[in-house]
Amino acid sequence: MSLKSQHIPRATIQRMAVYIQVLESLQRDGKDVISSELLAKTCSVNPSQIRKDLAYFGEFGVRGVGYYVQDLITSIKQALGVDRVWKTAVVGIGNLGRALLNHREFKLRGFHIVGAFDCDPFKIGEIVSGLEVICSRRLKEKAEEIGIEIGIITTPPERAQRATNYLVDAGVKGIINFAPARINVPDDVTVEYVDFFHHLYAVAFNVTLNAESE
Amino acid sequence: MSLKSQHIPRATIQRMAVYIQVLESLQRDGKDVISSELLAKTCSVNPSQIRKDLAYFGEFGVRGVGYYVQDLITSIKQALGVDRVWKTAVVGIGNLGRALLNHREFKLRGFHIVGAFDCDPFKIGEIVSGLEVICSRRLKEKAEEIGIEIGIITTPPERAQRATNYLVDAGVKGIINFAPARINVPDDVTVEYVDFFHHLYAVAFNVTLNAESE
DNA sequence: CAATTCATGTGAAATTTTTAACAAAAAACG
DNA sequence: CGTTTTTTGTTAAAAATTTCACATGAATTG
Ligand SMILES: NC(=O)c1ccc[n+]([C@@H]2O[C@H](COP(=O)([O-])OP(=O)(O)OC[C@H]3O[C@@H](n4cnc5c(N)ncnc54)[C@H](O)[C@@H]3O)[C@@H](O)[C@H]2O)c1
Ligand SMILES: NC(=O)c1ccc[n+]([C@@H]2O[C@H](COP(=O)([O-])OP(=O)(O)OC[C@H]3O[C@@H](n4cnc5c(N)ncnc54)[C@H](O)[C@@H]3O)[C@@H](O)[C@H]2O)c1
């Protein structure tokens, strides 16, 4: 039906990202067509799940055939809104912030880093990966000039809320927070938290569980 | 009831990691006691959710009072099995692998990196963060010597499966995969995938959605 | 020390998400 | 060109998860 304004589960969005990843692998391997059954096996999900997930956005397959890999990648990226350039900015130019600025994959995937902000006077003015580090207090002013859509926070945790405030104040509606701290934002701002210790905890728990049950 | 061998939702485990993060923040701020209501607000979940999650593992609160922050941190870490040292190894000593080896937070959280493996003859023998880089073909042999419990894969995606095979062969039961590729493992091996582009996609999608609906 | 307040732990209800089942449509085949 | 095969899109059923509601137990107060 693909009617808009229907609620799409968060889990669906997460799986869509996995589908892109797997489809791009398939494409590199020269595969043209894939069935929901095979795609499902690779993603470790149920085939119905995939068809259901895709149905939220439209009809992308051909009955009796499957999905054309290239077309499906394009369709999913369009559905997610990642078929265009997103202007992003990094706040907190320390170890991690620098690593992200130097990571070329961002540009490759349409996330162009157009701003680098820090509060440390020794860092302000420095050129990192072709970008001048700007004082984070000037974020709003700069945002009006360059247009920031997504903010990436890589400050220490106790500074994450302040960085958030700068971003929100500048009208940024999407935030990725690498600092291990929860942040408060207005309802119309989206936050995603990235913390790989969460994954380590999950693995440790599962390994413990499996070890006990045998 | 806290009876063992009851299935615990994956989502619960993910939230437990968030609870630890927030509780540690509260502890740094000198807070001794917290109610499920306040903790819930900080974590952006329902208070019942927290009580239910914790109930899978035991009774950690005091009625009419709340939870003692320090005790709850200890209890959750124990419940997850992260109150001990986990011996981990990194496979693929490139940019990311090196960054992880140099990240002191791992040791701080009980994840001790005891092995560094790569297949590149130019890297083998090099000392990175006090560890000698070993040939990945010798992983099994080395694992028997040092005891590896968790493997971290930071190879290019097309090599992730090979790295996985070495780890599985060496008896490793938990894997964190930073390479953007799905990997196949036996049933008794747990895999967690880390890919921050998934988070960027999710934010881009939500920002698009919110922008449309206004 | 009874009464009151407070916040947990928990069983039942509501909601959401996943899985199964199948009709519909496209291609392949004789 | 009808028949068979294949695999999607979709509706219905099943399962899982979340939320509600409240009884229970601990502390506090008068
Ligand atoms: N280094 C890693 O590999 C890694 C991995 C995962 C998560 N993290 C998290 O990412 C964050 C950054 O880590 P790091 O190693 O880069 O730390 P860092 O100390 O090297 O960098 C932090 C930077 O943030 C800047 N900063 C502080 N307050 C600021 C503010 N209000 N506005 C703008 N900039 C501000 C500091 O000047 C500094 O340059 C931390 O929260 C850390 O826990 C780091
Ligand atoms: N660099 C980042 O910031 C970053 C961030 C997120 C994800 N990643 C992902 O992490 C992976 C590594 O990234 P990188 O930038 O460190 O790449 P890199 O090329 O610098 O490092 C890859 C390393 O893996 C080694 N390797 C290859 N095959 C191997 C095998 N079979 N066994 C053992 N070692 C092997 C290579 O010799 C090399 O040293 C990639 O899949 C990348 O997509 C990187």
Give residue for tokens 């927290």: B50
Structure confidence at residue B212 (pLDDT): 85
Contact B202 A157 (CB under 8 A): no
Q: What is the Å distance from ligand 1's center to A162 Cα? A: 13
Band (A212; pLDDT cuts 50, 70, 90): confident
Residue B117 DSSP symbol:
E
- CATH 1.10.10.10 domain position(s) in chain A: 10-79
User: Distance between CA atoms of A206 and B56, rounded to whole angstroms?
Assistant: 15
> Do A153 and A179 touch, CB atoms closer than 8 A?
yes
pLDDT above 80: residue A31: yes
The response to whether residue B137 sits with its C-beta less than 6 Å from ligand 2 reads no
B134: Cβ–Cβ under 8 A, 6 or more apart, which residues?
B115, B116, B117, B118, B124, B142
Q: At what angle do helices A36-43 and A47-55 cross, to 10 degrees?
A: 110
Express each pLDDT in A142-181 by its tens digit: 999 999 999 999 999 999 999 999 999 999 999 999 999 9
CA at A50, C1' at C4: how many angstroms apart?
A: 55
Structure confidence at residue A6 (pLDDT): 75
> Do B40 and B49 touch, CB atoms closer than 8 A?
yes
pLDDT above 50: residue B3: no
User: Distance between CA atoms of A175 and A189, rounded to whole angstroms?
Assistant: 8
Please, which residues 69-98 of chain B have a Cβ atom closer than 8 Å to chain A?
A: 80-82, 86, 95
Nearest nucleotide over every DNA/RNA strand to the B12 CA, judged by C1': D17
Band (A1; pLDDT cuts 50, 70, 90): very low
DSSP run (H or E) holding B77? helix B69-80
Structure confidence at residue A155 (pLDDT): 98
Mean pLDDT of A29-49: 95
pLDDT above 60: residue B100: yes
Structure confidence at residue B1 (pLDDT): 34
CATH fold of A10-79 reads Arc Repressor Mutant, subunit A (1.10.10)
pLDDT above 50: residue B199: yes
Structure confidence at residue B2 (pLDDT): 36
Q: What are phi and psi of B190, to 5 degrees?
A: -95, 135
Q: Which nucleotides of C are covered by protein (CB under 7 A)?
A: 5-11, 16-21, 24-27
Please, which residues 12-71 of chain B have a Cβ atom closer than 8 Å to chain A?
A: 13-14, 16-18, 20-22, 24-25, 28, 42-44
Express each pLDDT in B121-132 by its tens digit: 999 999 999 999
pLDDT above 70: residue A20: yes
CA at B112, C1' at D28: how many angstroms apart?
A: 47
Structure confidence at residue A4 (pLDDT): 45
Structure confidence at residue B213 (pLDDT): 77
Please state which of the ranges A111-120, A204-213, B189-198 shows the lowest mean pLDDT. A204-213
Band (B5; pLDDT cuts 50, 70, 90): low
- CATH 3.40.50.720 domain position(s) in chain B: 86-197
pLDDT above 90: residue B6: no
Share of chain B above pLDDT 70, in %: 98
pLDDT above 50: residue A3: no
Q: What is the Å distance from ligand 2's center to A173 Cα? A: 32
- Give the distance from CA B86 to its chain's centroid: 11
Mean pLDDT of A97-124: 96
The response to whether residue B114 sits with its C-beta less than 6 Å from ligand 2 reads no
Express each pLDDT in B157-189 by its tens digit: 999 999 999 999 999 999 999 999 999 999 999
Band (B77; pLDDT cuts 50, 70, 90): very high
Report the SS3 class of residue B112.
Answer: strand
Return the structure tokens found at A130: 């072709």
Which of A74, A28, A198 is CA-nearest to residue B160? Answer: A28
Contact B175 A203 (CB under 8 A): yes
User: Distance between CA atoms of A150 and B144, rounded to whole angstroms?
Assistant: 46
Structure confidence at residue A213 (pLDDT): 77
Structure confidence at residue A12 (pLDDT): 96
CB-nearest partner of A22 from B173, B175, B182 = B182
- Residue B189 Cα distances to A31, B140, B150, B151, angstroms: 28, 16, 10, 11
Angle at A96 between CA A181 and CA A195, to 5 degrees: 40
Write out chain B residues lying below 8 Å of A80, CB-based.
201, 204-205, 208
* CB neighbour class for B9 (10 Å; exposed up to 12, middle 13-18, buried from 19): exposed
CB-nearest partner of A202 from B14, B188, B214 = B14
The CATH architecture assigned to B86-197 reads: 3-Layer(aba) Sandwich (3.40)
Structure confidence at residue B108 (pLDDT): 95
Mean pLDDT of A35-59: 95
Q: Which ligand is nearest to the CA of B199?
A: 2
User: Distance between CA atoms of A131 and A211, rounded to whole angstroms?
Assistant: 49
Mean pLDDT of B196-204: 96
The response to whether residue B95 sits with its C-beta less than 6 Å from ligand 2 reads yes
Measured by CA distance, the residue closest to atom 39 of ligand 1 is A94
Residue nearest to nucleotide D18 (CA to C1'): B49
* CB neighbour class for A162 (10 Å; exposed up to 12, middle 13-18, buried from 19): middle
Residue B45 DSSP symbol:
S
Q: What is the Å distance from ligand 2's center to B154 Cα? A: 4
SS3 for chain A is CCCCCCCCCHHHHHHHHHHHHHHHHHHHCCCCEECHHHHHHHHCCCHHHHHHHHHCCCCCCECCCEEEHHHHHHHHHHHHCCCCCEEEEEECCCHHHHHHHHCCHHHHCCEEEEEEEECCCCCCCCEECCEEEEEHHHHHHHHHHHCCCEEEECCCHHHHHHHHHHHHHCCCCEEEECCCCCCCCCCCCEEEECCHHHHHHHHHHHHHHHHHCC
CB-nearest partner of A25 from B22, B111, B157 = B157
User: Distance between CA atoms of B129 and B115, rounded to whole angstroms?
Assistant: 11
